[in-house]
Structure 1
Amino acid sequence: MDNNKKITKRIIISLIILGITYASLPTILYSAANYYEGQKESKNIAEGLYKKITKYFPHSSKAPNSLEALIISNNVQGESIFITNHFTSSNPNTYIPTAKGVEYYKLLVQKYPNSQQAKAVPLKIGQYYESIGYYGEAEKYFLQGLTEDRESFVASESNYHLIKLYLKSKSPQKALEYIEIYRKNYPESLKAEMYLLAGDAYQTLGDFKRAEKSYKNILKLEQGQDDSDLMDEKATNSFYKEKMEEKLFQNQRKLANINQEKAIIQGFLGKDGEALKNVAIFLIDENREKVNFCTSDIEDYPVTYVNDKGHYEFRDIIPGKYSIGLGISKKDLAGYTLVPEQQIYEVTAAQTLNVDLKLVPLLQVKQPEIKEESENITLQWEQVKDAHHYTLIAGWVKRNKDGVSFNSAELRENIPTNEIVLAKDELLEFNCPQQKLDEKNIDLAEGKQKAKAKIKENQNESEKEKERYPSLLHKDGQHEFAWSIKAYDRDNNLITDSSGFELFINQSLNTFFIPEK
């Protein structure tokens, strides 16, 4: 009898241990997956562990976390690239899902409707539809996000995105309605931003005086003179002041040209002869000098999206100078470059300007011929059809823990063939000038003074570069050079180039080394 009790007790203890082990196993696997996810070479192991959790432990607390991790790992847009006349830069969109990711998020809500992850799904899906210009669908999901707890991140972000959405879709009254809702629910949050957005709404309505007043309220915030007598830290930042000045300038231009006939800019975006749809196209006003123009500024300008047929269009444009910017995924850009080159266009009243854009395959270069006993280097590349001449771009490479960068400049122009021989000494003495402002493109007197000061500053910096660059040696006392080739037709239009946007996609450069003399 005693033996039976002992056996029963052992069985119960064993079952308890097994139960505890089984219950804790998803947490153990999830922790291991998190660890492997941080290691590039072990990403597949992490994905395998997440899949095991969702398959074998579907009712555990870690199952929805694992499903979301799989969505983010495999079905997000990832980084996109902003291409403008002023800069090219990466734009992290890590948490915006792809179309496939949206389906997985819907599955997450279906399987785990009460999970914490499910609460964020309306915001995620709304961001996806907003990112491809499907404003009606985006609105539906952002409105769902508003039903969450008012104090939650999902609710506040959904409210903010609704305001931006209504401004993009030319619904200023709705934008003003949700600005007031945001102010009521989050009175101490984004006050300067709300003044700017309200100004944009009034400007769209044609109420230029109220727009100006709203923009200038940012100055009251800085001086602590708003209704709450509290200072908004963001308003004290020059970032918001510069935004305010740009918006006041645009407001004055629209008021001054209210009776002027408007222009249209339209075009086609293609790749390999096919339409490239859902790409964001920005219309950047170039009638005022750009100060510290960066990624966050481009989203303040009108945006449209390439439709299923590859077409885009901007209407009701005030005559003046403009450039076209793109927000395009790294996946679409990899191995391609954009033509024509970025430039400023001037439109007149009632004009329809056509600006077609296309992605073309990169020009392929060959490994440079560098013989130790020779004083020369031979650079070669593929012959491009219809190319009349080529330009060689070169620069010193800088590498550090943060990545790779280089200053580049035109080393040789009007190269008639697909080969050039350079002296090593010429490269070792080559210095890349800093980018200079084009004074003739600046209309305002104050802008010209700033331009002259900047040009002088660049000249001084260029002298410093001459001293600094020769010290940029790598191991074994070698200098590293980056080089690329641009191919042009008879009319000097860019056909293709060899570097494209690879530096921004995967930090890839065509380089070679020259030993120090």
Structure 2
Amino acid sequence: MRRISVTNKTLVILGIILGLILGTGYFFTPKLMALVIREYEEAGNQDVDIILKERLIRFFPGSEEARWEAYALAERFLEREERVMIGPDFVGGGAGKDISLPPEKVVYCLQKVAQAQKEEMWKYNSYEKLGEFYRSQGNYQEAEKYYLIAAQGFKEADSDFRIGDINRNLVDMYLETGKLEKALSLIEQSLQKYPDQYRGEFLSRKGDVFFRLEDYIQAEACFRDALAQAEEDWDQILAEHKDQEENMNATLDQQPVYRHSKSKLEMIHSMKKGEKMPKGKVKGEILRGNSPMPNVLVYLINEKEYDGRMSNFEGIESGSPYKTDNQGKFEFDGIVPGKYFMVLGLVPQDLEGLGRFKELKAFTVEGGKTKELKYVFQPKVNILEPAGQQTFRTGEKLKIRWEEVPRAEAYNLQITLKLENGYVSRVFRSGLRGNSYVFNPQGLALREMNFVAWGDGYVLAPSAILGSFYPGAEIFFAIEAVDQEGRSISDSEGYVLQLNGNYPSIQVQGTSPQSLGDKLVIEKKYPEAVHAYLQELKEKPKDPYALLSLARFYNYGWTEEASDLKKAAEYYERLLRVNRDVFLVEEAAGANVQAGNHRRAIELYKEIEDEMSKSSFWFQTMGELYFKTGETEKALDYYLTYLNKEKEFRDLGPVIAYLYHDDVLGAVKLLKENSYSQRARYNSDGESEKPADINLLISSLESYYSGTKSVLNRDNFRKYLLEIMNIDGSNRFEQVRAFQTKIQSLGDKDVLVIVLRELAQDRR
């Protein structure tokens, strides 16, 4: 055998070659694994996808691919319990995806990547993510540990902005866990060392700390500083966007720091400085039928701070959200008196098989008292037939049948129409008895359920003119069960995010008559459609379809310039001489309201009173109509009937009616006994507006009743009240502003001027 001689030089060369091979493999292997992972993700093979991610992170933790996958795993796990957020008038969220990976494996992946990363920013981003992960699991000690590691790392990297982010998270966590001294210390540190990072938010949080410590003098100073900083920040944002073609829909009032600080200052203003104010308590339970619902996040929201955006609760919760215990119970203590509402956060699987819950109404918390609440979710209403989608043609019948619901007094049938850019829904039939309904609209009744909706490019949807049952329309059905008092018990809709989940539906095919005007409406050639309908009326002056289409066209207008309310009322009158179906009389009454023909509107509404009086809001409408026609006694009767049913002001018309009759004490009593929404209103430009200040209104009226003089005599005051009641239409905001400017000249501190200003504010 020959001996092979290997020199040191050869060994070095072989080592270099082997190193290059291994290095090249190490460089390319993570990229190849990432490509394979993407393929399994796209194929929906989650098990293999997760295994490969874990192996990539274990063997190549320092790679760019590993850090992205570790982040993705953490995000997916955090989203796994993304909750469906249920409020008084909104539902959102619930888009999380479950993953078959325990939390300790996610922690392992993040730690592995954090330790292996060479880039400091990625290393400390990973530690921050670990803090966020532990916080989501309720492990606040470990969360604090990793947040502090991340903060120290960002400090060494001279990244003030990222330190500001970490400190915000830590302060919020300290506030959640009641560690007020720690929160205050970190806020002071942040304001001193990083004065340019989130200054407004830290000042606002500092105010929250003092507010919870009941040091209202210092809290007020902090909130005022936060308010000033928010205004300064907003001015800077406007300056930066001044020369850009960006659409700035937001306003200063919508900024969380500004809104929160302003609300808290209003609360403090109502207290005596330095004196303790008695707090209230809110407690209750959440049930699924008779069984408790644990693990529900309960948010207590100050109605005055809520800006109407369902996803925006940052900084407006009154304390940390409470997670219901094993008995489904929750409790909030130390609540400042005021008006609040609840938002419930539930994991999607806990909502499976449940109907929608609609009892999250606003309530008042009183000092020294406990508000007790009980929320009960019920099983979905089960629709037995039809199942799936069917076609619908004129003359055909479709039976809708559902299982009866215990305690249900009646049922409402709701239809939802699919549009090109979404869906619109409305009750089609209310107060149904029994557990079935035969769906058989024919003739003019095909056009009864019309949705005034706008599609892409702000173009009127055909349903506005032809009703929902036009050729090609897709309609979904849902059933709602209601109790003796008309309150919702449950429905067949439940909490699904896609309409094809559990809804029977119909696809509308060829309905008749199909005139040239109808066909042009479906094609959205509206000017041509109007011309065609006018031609049809020349040949057939009493054609109800053409008359209704023209009445609707002029009532809604396919563009803003195309509406003509006077013409709309005239066409409805011609139509009523041919047909007086209830829905036509109701539409005609509404058109006359819009056109300012109040007496005619009253006549038409009275004609269908038996049907209209089923809705409490009809009494509000009648109250306003009678007031505008000078029959103020009747107006007050209708207003009070509305408030007896609803216990909540839709607007302050009833107060105006009392004041018009010189009954100041009656107006004050009404304001104190009934609820008034403190949520922000929005004008036609989408800008937020404050509601009327009810406390200021009450105190001003009581002051006037006690003898405070006003520059206004009785006749002038009544004249202005009538002027307020006539503020209406799409430019209400401008009318209110003009009115308030006019009366301000009479003396902005005059007691009755203040009353008029707040009453007008309600008309926005």
TM-score by length of 2: 0.53
- The aligned residue for residue 413 of structure 2 is 392
Unaligned runs of 5+ in 2: 241-249, 454-458, 512-764
> Structure 2 vs 1, CA of residues 103 and 155 (structure 1 numbering), >3 Å: closer, same or farther?
farther
Percent identity, aligned pairs only, is: 22
> Structure 2 vs 1, CA of residues 133 and 356 (structure 1 numbering), >3 Å: closer, same or farther?
farther
Q: Does 1:344 align with 2:325?
A: no
Amino acid at match of 1:149: F
Matches for 1:112-511 after TM superposition, within 5 Å: 112=113, 114-116=115-117, 119-120=124-125, 122-128=127-133, 130-131=135-136, 135=140, 138-150=143-155, 151=158, 155-218=163-226, 220-221=228-229, 224=232, 231=236, 237-240=252-255, 241-253=258-270, 261-271=278-288, 274-286=291-303, 288=304, 291-297=307-313, 299-302=315-318, 303-337=321-355, 339=357, 341-365=359-383, 366-367=385-386, 370=391, 372=393, 374-400=395-421, 405-425=422-442, 426=445, 428-432=447-451, 469=464, 477-503=471-497, 508=501, 510=503, 511=505
Deviation at 1:140, TM superposition (A): 4.5
- The aligned residue for residue 451 of structure 1 is none
Cα deviations across residues 245-265 of structure 1 (Å, max 9, x unaligned)? 333333335659966543322
Partner Cα separation in structure 1 for residue 72 and residue 295 of structure 2: 26
Amino acid at match of 2:199: K
- Does the 8 Å contact 1:199/1:211 carry over to 2? yes
Q: 2:84 aligns with which of 75, 81, 85?
A: 81
Partner Cα separation in structure 2 for residue 352 and residue 99 of structure 1: 43
Deviation at 1:32, TM superposition (A): 0.4
- Does the 8 Å contact 2:359/2:375 carry over to 1? no
Partner Cα separation in structure 2 for residue 58 and residue 260 of structure 1: 56
Bigger shift: residues 57-66 or 154-163: 57-66
> Structure 2 vs 1, CA of residues 427 and 136 (structure 1 numbering), >3 Å: closer, same or farther?
farther
Deviation at 1:64, TM superposition (A): 5.6
- Does the 8 Å contact 2:415/2:476 carry over to 1? yes
Unaligned runs of 5+ in 1: 435-463
- Does the 8 Å contact 2:74/2:106 carry over to 1? yes
Deviation at 1:273, TM superposition (A): 5.4
Bigger shift: residues 405-414 or 346-355: 346-355
- Does the 8 Å contact 1:132/1:280 carry over to 2? no
Q: 2:508 aligns with which of 498, 514, 517?
A: 514
> Structure 2 vs 1, CA of residues 92 and 258 (structure 1 numbering), >3 Å: closer, same or farther?
farther
- The aligned residue for residue 450 of structure 1 is none
- Does the 8 Å contact 2:298/2:342 carry over to 1? yes
Cα deviations across residues 282-329 of structure 1 (Å, max 9, x unaligned)? 11233x485444422365122322234422101233444322111222
Partner Cα separation in structure 1 for residue 231 and residue 363 of structure 2: 39
TM-score by length of 1: 0.74
Partner Cα separation in structure 2 for residue 412 and residue 491 of structure 1: 17
Deviation at 1:341, TM superposition (A): 2.1
Look up the SS of the partner of 2:187 in the other structure: helix
Counting matched residue pairs gives: 474
Deviation at 1:357, TM superposition (A): 2.6
More relative contact order in 1 or in 2 (CA 8 Å, sep 6+)?
Answer: 1
Deviation at 1:478, TM superposition (A): 1.1
Amino acid at match of 1:80: R
Deviation at 1:392, TM superposition (A): 1.8
Cα deviations across residues 42-77 of structure 1 (Å, max 9, x unaligned)? 656644542453577678775565455445446743
Look up the SS of the partner of 2:313 in the other structure: helix
Cα deviations across residues 433-453 of structure 1 (Å, max 9, x unaligned)? 89xxxxxxxxxxxxxxxxxxx
Partner Cα separation in structure 2 for residue 108 and residue 22 of structure 1: 22
- Does the 8 Å contact 2:295/2:324 carry over to 1? yes
> Structure 2 vs 1, CA of residues 14 and 206 (structure 1 numbering), >3 Å: closer, same or farther?
closer
- The aligned residue for residue 105 of structure 2 is 104
Partner Cα separation in structure 2 for residue 56 and residue 291 of structure 1: 49
Cα deviations across residues 115-145 of structure 1 (Å, max 9, x unaligned)? 3466445533443454466655544443444
Question: Rg: which structure is higher?
Answer: 2
Matches for 1:2-41 after TM superposition, within 5 Å: 18-19=21-22, 22-33=25-36, 35-36=38-39, 39=42, 41=44
Cα deviations across residues 383-407 of structure 1 (Å, max 9, x unaligned)? 223333212222322344xxxx322
Partner Cα separation in structure 1 for residue 16 and residue 496 of structure 2: 60
> Structure 2 vs 1, CA of residues 168 and 67 (structure 1 numbering), >3 Å: closer, same or farther?
closer
- Larger strand proportion, structure 1 or 2? 1
